[in-house]
Amino acid sequence: MKPYRDLWQELCSTQNLQRAFTKARKHKTLKPCVLEFEADVKNNLSQLRTELLFHFYQPRPLETFILRDPKTRKISKSHFRDRVIHHALCNVIEPMFEKRFIFDSYANRKSKGTLEAIKRFEYFQGKVSHNYTTNVYVLKADIKHYFDEVDHSVLLDIIQKRVKDPKIIWLIKRILGNYSTSDGKGMPLGNLTSQFFANIYLNELDYFVKQELNAKYYLRYVDDFVIFHTSLTVLQEWKEDIAQFLAEKLKLQLHPDKSKIIPLNRGIEFLGFKLFSYHRLLKRKNMRYFLRKLRQTNSLYQEEKMTYDDVYNFMEGWCAHAKNANTFKRRQKILTSFEEQYPREISTKEVNRGLPKNKKPTKEVVTPPNTTKP
């Protein structure tokens, strides 16, 4: 007989809240909200624990702002103390769901991520096409306004199949109730709990596709998913079945413009890349966005509104992303131009790597690690 677990006591424990705080502050140690909380961390964690134990915890209003580049998105950010609670909740219940997730769900999970999803995509395309000797079709699908359309009551029903503790459910309701796009719908982009709940919600779709449709070559990243098959007719039928399942069970819709069946040999756009049989390219709109952002960054630097470290970090981040595609010549061209524009500048990262301060940075220094031709 399994020993009884008091999930609520685990969640509210001092150890769990301390661990949640450590996770919430990761990579954000110099942010004012983190420094303010950390200045009196013992009392702040004690206050959160008291609010949870006596059931008067109430999330603070979300800070909302609009990002318009590369596409318009509304981001809602929780107060730091609420982010600690989100981590505390996930610490306790995430393991209960993680073992139920299918292998080929790649978003917001340990040892997964974008690059692993791309690798799995390439494995599938080789497998289904018998090393590219057979015609293959891909159902490339996207769910319309996914985060805005998640139904709270449906989500809670799914969660309660695994989590029986009413106090945990009370906390989840508090978190969900702090944001809605319409009555009882929606989760904010940017919250840890939203990312976790998004996987729980669409795990229902994963099981339908794998068990009911018996689709062998299926993978999902948040609300983007692909299915490979040699039969166009089968994929057309599956697309209709999936649309019906989403509407009836999850109250969602496939995106009419972004859900298509495409021959594999045309190249498939997935997670920022266009994937072909033997190579990857960056999506054209992503490349246009980068070049536009680079011009803006250069202008801000010239106006002294941005430091060279900021410019360097931007370039290093792009190179780290771009090296995952066949972009060797393009990267070298951009980096050469970059060095010509900043001939005497040097970042603190370069100094930390041991470059003499009076030495002009070389291409190897500016370029992130492993930028050799793929």
List, for residues 274-321, the tens digit of each pLDDT value: 999 888 999 888 898 899 999 999 999 888 888 888 888 999 999 999
Residues 6+ apart with CB under 8 A from 108: 195, 196, 198, 199, 222
pLDDT score of 363 more than 60? no
Question: Are 86 and 191 spatial neighbours (Cβ–Cβ below 8 Å)?
Answer: yes
284 versus 243: the higher-pLDDT residue is 243
List, for residues 122-177, the tens digit of each pLDDT value: 999 999 999 999 999 999 999 999 999 999 999 999 999 999 999 999 999 999 99
What token pair was written down for 291?
């070049």
pLDDT of residue 359: 45
Rounded mean pLDDT of 59-65?
A: 88
* Residue 141 three-state SS: strand
Confidence class for position 3, pLDDT limits 50, 70, 90? low
Rounded mean pLDDT of 317-344?
A: 89
Lowest mean pLDDT among 34-48, 234-248, 334-348, 355-369: 355-369
pLDDT of residue 113: 93
> Residues of 88-115 as b/e, b for ≥16 C-beta within 10 angstroms?
bbbbbbbeebeeebeebbbbbeeebebe
pLDDT of residue 38: 94
For the entire predicted model, the pTM comes to: 0.84
pLDDT of residue 365: 38
pLDDT of residue 58: 95
pLDDT of residue 350: 60
pLDDT of residue 278: 87
Alpha-helical segments (H) within 4-129: 7-12, 14-24, 32-39, 41-53, 80-98, 114-128
Per cent of the chain over pLDDT 70 is 91
Rounded mean pLDDT of 226-240?
A: 97
pLDDT of residue 64: 82
Question: What's the DSSP call for residue 182?
Answer: B
Q: Among 63-77, 134-148, 344-358, name the most confident range.
A: 134-148
List, for residues 4-20, the tens digit of each pLDDT value: 689 999 999 999 999 99
